[in-house]
Structure 1
């Protein structure tokens, strides 16, 4: 039934600031912005091995009940070096949500709250690396 991750949507009251923050983190510019000129209401990045979409939407368009309070699911992005990623996120102004924690051999997770109130998860996941290797083979 679920075939794969298509888009993760984050909300921000200042989309331009969020766009710039994520562009700095990801070391890539947003590839899509609407409107194209002026203050954006939506921006999108293509991220990682499968070019998953990370969208940032003006909080004015958030679904009813959206909150910056903790809760809900955490999407974890695969990273090559969790310690270096964790350090960079904190240096960029993210705040710890869940400290780096080994969940078992080959599985370590961490998460932060970005400066815009979204929870960003990062993870070392040997299953992800195995799937990636099998697709390249």
Structure 2
């Protein structure tokens, strides 16, 4: 194992998802094709792939957490952009706080 390289979110509308993630992560994709859109987020790959059977009802089995400096601000901004609350910011010990939202396509984004 070499470590985590890519987090991929399956989406029903890849063009809408590309626009949403560009706003949410404040960056444009470096790669864009109908079968995959790739973003470089602080040296890590965030990928979008189209779903064969689009759904916003997705399993919550694995969550990737993206590092942020001001979790409440980022959480509130994602909600303002159309994400929905999954887990409000919660102190899990010391200075560590986590939160999760669901993107408009049903994927969970950890902060």
- Please point out which of 37, 40, 48 is paired with 1:46: 40
Kindly state the Cα deviation for residue 27 of structure 1 after the two structures are TM-superposed.
Answer: 1.5
Give the structure with the higher percent helix.
1
Give runs of aligned pairs for residues 33-72 of structure 1, distance below 5 A: 33-34=32-33, 40-48=34-42, 51-60=43-52, 68-72=57-61
Larger Rg: 1
Task: Indicate the residue corresponding to 1:133 in structure 2.
Answer: none
On the 8 A contact 2:56/2:107 being kept in 1, the answer is no
The root-mean-square deviation of aligned C-alpha atoms, in Å, is 1.9
Q: Which runs of 5+ in 1 are unaligned?
A: 35-39, 123-137
Which whole-Å deviations, capped at 9, do the CAs of 1:40-91 have from their partners, x for residues lacking one? Answer: 221000002xx100000000289xxx98334201110100110110110110
Task: Indicate the residue corresponding to 2:23 in structure 1.
Answer: 24
Kindly state the Cα deviation for residue 5 of structure 1 after the two structures are TM-superposed.
Answer: 1.4
Q: Which runs of 5+ in 2 are unaligned?
A: none
TM-score normalised by L of structure 1:
0.75
TM-score normalised by L of structure 2:
0.92
Q: Give aligned pairs, total.
A: 111
